[in-house]
Amino acid sequence: MWTSEAFEEVMDTIENGTTSLRKENRHWNIPLTSLSYHLYGKTRSRKLGPGGMLIVKEDQVVIV
């Protein structure tokens, strides 16, 4: 399994034009879709579980 640090290093080399997506895919064994999604801004959070809800204190209404 790859780490976030390795992933960032791979993305830096791809963005600089030093290497290609396919070459890094084979070398680091990172899925090609993950690399391309990150490169073109179609990423998702790796955090699983329900999302939280932030509430601004000024926007709260108390119903009694």
CATH code, domain with 41: 1.10.10
Asked if the structure places residue 55 within a domain, the reply is: no
Q: For residue 13, give both structure tokens.
A: 């080399």
What residues in the chain have per-residue pLDDT under 50?
Answer: none
What pLDDT shows up at residue 48?
A: 63
**Predicted pLDDT of residue 53:** 64
State residue 1's pLDDT score. Answer: 67
Percent of the chain scored above 70 by pLDDT?
62
Determine the length of the chain: 64
Which residue type does 33 have? T
Q: How many domains does the chain have?
A: 1
Within a domain: residue 63?
Answer: no
Average pLDDT, the chain: 77
Q: What is the pLDDT of residue 47?
A: 62
Structure tokens at 14: 């791809």
